[in-house]
Amino acid sequence: MGEGRASPYARGAAGRSGVPRGTIAVAMSDPTPAPPALDYAPPARRRGLRRAVRLWPVGLLLLVVGLGIAYGPRAWRHYQLMRLQAACLSAELPQDRPVWETDPAAAAALVAAWPGEYVLDAGGRAVRADPRWAALKDEWHRAREPQPRARKPVPTLFCNERHTPDGRRRLVVVEGRGWHLGAAVVEPAGWTGGLPRMAWWDAARWDAALWEPIRSADDLPYSIRHGAGAPDPADPSRWTAPFAFNGVPGTFEFRLADDDTVTVRLLDPAGFRAKAAAARVAHEAAKAAAAAKARKAGTQPAAR
């Protein structure tokens, strides 16, 4: 064979790739594909939700603190107002003693027996102003006036819940001395806010027929006593209050009308006249007895 021709054997031994047969070729890189990387981080939306769940108590606390700062004092004042209003709507005034007494000795006895309830006015008369109504008025005025004016105590003859004949709920208060009686008719406030509304505040409307029997006791020694009123359980628009004029006892009947006015009439005027006549006879007999005693003692009795 010549030198210029390659031996077929040599070509076969080298193979087509030029690598001798029987030789294992080693790859320069691993032909097996790498497994995909696992992403354990949650999606951004889920991370935000978890953060909100963790922080909501803080947000709620900040909201409560902010609302407390903004509305807390006002809400507390309204709560106090509602408590006082509820106390007035269910008030029970003492039925065993008067709320206004003009007799000096009886007035002094009332103040001595109940020093926390009664005060003497400038004329020496005993006055009982209901503390629940006085506190409600103070709170009511404080809501409208930063420094409410001091007010003189006025006898409270009645303080309780009543309804107009057409069913509207009212707080009714009767105050005054002698024949000067005023009535406050209040539309109660609600828990959602606002102040009580004065539906009517004026003098009670006297029945004209009342004065004739009352004058039948005019010539007796002067004194007026007002007792505390009591609501009528059978009629939500009615209440009564006892009184005594010149020692003659009687009973006033009060009624609340649909227009929120309050009217007053005398119960049993014929009975009042009869008691006035009996008191007049007793008074004349007492005067005659005093005159006879004075003559016997040789002195002149003092004039009435």
pLDDT tens series, the chain, 304 aa: 444 454 444 444 444 445 455 444 444 455 566 666 555 555 556 666 666 666 667 666 666 656 556 556 778 888 888 999 999 999 999 999 999 999 999 999 999 999 989 999 999 999 999 999 999 988 877 766 555 566 788 999 999 999 999 999 999 999 999 899 999 999 999 988 888 999 999 999 999 999 999 999 998 999 999 999 999 999 999 999 999 999 999 999 999 999 999 999 999 999 999 999 999 999 999 888 888 888 888 765 555 5
Count: domains in the chain = 1
In a domain, 199, yes or no: yes
CA dist., res. 250 & res. 6, Å (int):
155
In a domain, 190, yes or no: yes
- Output b/e per residue, 38-73; b: 16+ Cβ within 10 A: eeeeeeeeeeeeeeeeeeeeeeeeeeeeeeeeeeee
In a domain, 47, yes or no: no
Backbone Cα Rg of the chain: 48
In a domain, 32, yes or no: no
| Domain encompassing residue 211 | 70-269
In a domain, 283, yes or no: no
In a domain, 126, yes or no: yes
pTM for the structure as a whole: 0.73
C-alpha neighbours within 13 Å on the C-beta side of residue 171: 22
In a domain, 25, yes or no: no
In a domain, 287, yes or no: no
- Output b/e per residue, 2-15; b: 16+ Cβ within 10 A: eeeeeeeeeeeeee
